Amino acid sequence: MTRPALAVRGGDGLADGDAGACSSRVELAAHNGLVGGSNPSGPTGGTAPDARADGCPDDAPRPATPWWRHALVAAASLVIAALAIGAVRRLAHEVTLATLTAALHAVPWPTIALAAVLTTTSYLLLTLYDWLALDHLGYRLRLGTVMTAAFTGFTMSHTLGLTPLTGGSVRYRIYGRAGVCGRDIVLVVALCAWTFWLGIVLAAGTGLLIAPTLAGLPAALGRAGGATLLGGAVAYLVATATFRGELRLFGFRLALPSFPGALAQLGAGIADLLAAATALYILLPAGPAFPLVVTTYAVAMIAGALSHAPGGLGVFEAIVLLMLPGLDRGGVLAGLLLFRLLYTVLPFTAGLIVLATTEAAALRRQRRQTRAARAAAAP
């Protein structure tokens, strides 16, 4: 028997104007290939005892976060980014524009093309984050819907930071139209973030245990940090295999994924990390071992994510420069610039195009359905 996956209490997930697309959420869900959701039977679908027949909870939504808190976080993120960029300038003060230009020209086009393929692979693997989260919540959505939401959501959050506001709002629009409840969308964002952290934490923890002085820390502190990170990932896996109760966090009730589900999360996180880290590895100057670059990438991603700077801008680069001190600074900066272009700027541009196209198509569809409903109601 499948272990209970989720029971959520909270608000409705349809964006404004979406309700007119179908006469009920059940019809909308069927239209988009949806089964289940917000239920205790997990991936197999069904209806939760405390949910409405259409799969969405009845309770009133929680109050929205005051706008000034979002503004304060955004301002702090920009300040951190500015400080980090200043740190990068100090670390690479000897690199001139001519040196950087020469280093960029020295990177072969086949290497850049391979790095582009690897970053594309990384974004395709990110789709698994959303797929696993939706599966845990009991939803069955079309692959195209999941890929669109995952790609646009991650490109927004990777570039702009503040994942709940950026990637979360994009998923709210796309998954809301597919019939996913608003509280379930919040949980999808949270589960995707958790999958990301699993891969990053496991890689960083393993690397610090193997090379404790890698981050410029004393050996004992590096080993302690590595053991803490790795122990956290292992503890999560043990908990998914043994814990049968529900977690209650911020008004949500959530059961942990099954042990196979947790292994799938870990596999997706590691595969995504390895694809992106390999892209960075081949763009950097020759010299560092691949495991060193993977660990450096993981630690830099942790620092960038915790800083909440837009896209980890400046923070990510500063950590890479600090952890790879023996390499040519100009070559490292050239590799970081190309990686930023391939992993952040180009996907963000593509994500904007996909999002605009998706929203335009949804608007046209809504208008057609509204006209059809008015024609049917006319005497």
Classify the phi-psi angles of 320: left when phi > 0, otherwise alpha if psi is within -120 to 50, otherwise beta: alpha
Cross-strand partners of 249: 252
Cross-strand partners of 246: 255
pLDDT in single tens digits along all 379 residues of the chain? 333 333 333 333 333 333 333 333 433 444 444 444 543 344 433 333 333 334 455 444 444 556 555 555 556 555 555 655 555 555 455 556 677 778 788 889 999 999 999 999 999 999 999 999 999 888 989 999 999 999 999 988 888 777 777 788 889 889 998 889 888 898 899 899 889 888 888 888 888 888 887 766 788 888 888 899 888 888 888 988 888 777 776 666 777 888 898 999 999 999 999 999 999 999 999 888 888 899 889 888 888 877 777 777 778 888 888 888 878 888 888 899 999 999 988 998 999 999 899 888 888 888 888 888 887 777 6
Q: How far apart are CA 329 and CA 289, in angstroms?
A: 17
pLDDT for position 79: 57
What ranges in 165-289 are assigned the alpha helix state H?
Answer: 167-177, 182-210, 219-242, 259-283
**3-class SS of residue 163:** coil
* Alpha-carbon distances of 323 from 91, 241, 300, 367, rounded to whole Å: 12, 36, 9, 54
Type and span of the H or E element at 254: strand 252-255
What count of other Cβ atoms lies within 10 Å of the Cβ of residue 163?
Answer: 20
Q: Which amino acid is at 286?
A: A
265 exposure class (CB count in 10 Å sphere: 0-12, 13-18, 19+): buried
Q: Are 154 and 195 in contact (CB under 8 A)?
A: no
Three-state SS across 318-344? HHHHHHCCCCCHHHHHHHHHHHHHHHH
Cross-strand partners of 247: 254
Q: How far apart are CA 271 and CA 37, in angstroms?
A: 27
Report which DSSP code applies to 17: T
Q: Which two structure tokens, joined as six digits, stand for 190?
A: 């949270």
- DSSP letters, 64-100, are PPPHHHHHHHHHHHHHHHHHHHHHHHHHTTT--HHHH
Report which DSSP code applies to 57: B
Q: How far apart are CA 273 and CA 297, in angstroms?
A: 8
Phi, psi of 248, rounded to the nearest 5 degrees? -120, 110
